[in-house]
Amino acid sequence: MGKLPFEVGNLKNINEMDISNNNLSGEIPTSIGNCSILEYLYLQGNSFQGAIPSSMASLKGGFGSVYKGFIHLEERTIAVKVLNLQQKGASKSFMVECNALRNIRHRNLVKILTCCCSMDYNGNQFKALVFEFMTNGSLDFWLHQRLDNENQSRNLSLLQRLNVAIDVAFVIDYLHNHSMQPIIHCDLKPSKFLLDNDMVAHVSDFGLARLLPITNDSSEKQTNTIGIKGSIGYVVQGNFF
């Protein structure tokens, strides 16, 4: 119990912080934004108030923060991706993701429930996407064997790993070859593969996606990328077919 101390910002050399289920309260210290290499921040199971510092907005989404929510009337858990519109490229990412997801349906895609584009109470632009919630988190979480809330390591069997690979292959084949408009994800990596209650993989985050021209002429299906898109180690450059 208690508050998260301001000194937490001195932990500048960690890339993961798990302070979940500690019954903490109060506001999240702005100093946590000093943890420049922090990639994963787990806050669930506490009673924090206020917003995550804007400098942390690139975490749980590339152009915003992802929150866990609950629709009481439907008794449904959701994931809400709130765009950080102060970050360069966030508005474009929102439009790209909306355009990519509006006409595609596949069992291995994270289902979008709705989107929101309005003004907040302070007169600032507000953009958010609402998705179905994936109970088992990301593949990245499982592969790196972090500990769950019961301090038991998470391990994927060979069969589960194979099934995830097949799930991802199915949806990529759909996006490239069978959707109404061919779509290249451009940032495929384990953190983008989310697992549902049955450990079925769902591809998420189309903020960097490239929508290819609709054509029946195979000679015109090739397009060139401009620059480099995606995360380090997973960047996409060159020709697509």
> Cα torsion at 72, 74, 77, 82 (round to 10°)?
-80
- 187 in catalytic set: yes
- Which residues pair with residue 223 across a beta bridge? 240
Cα gap 55→36, rounded to integer Å = 9
- Find residue 36's DSSP bridge partners: none
C-alpha 69/C-alpha 78 separation (Å) is: 5
Catalytic pick from 187, 196, 205, 217? 187
Q: How many Cβ atoms sit within 10 Å of the Cβ of residue 219?
A: 6
Find the helix or strand (DSSP H, E) in which 115 lies.
Answer: strand 112-119
Give the integer Cα–Cα distance in Å for 22 and 5: 13
- CA nearest neighbour of 149 among 1, 21, 40: 21
Among all residues, which ones are annotated catalytic? Answer: 187
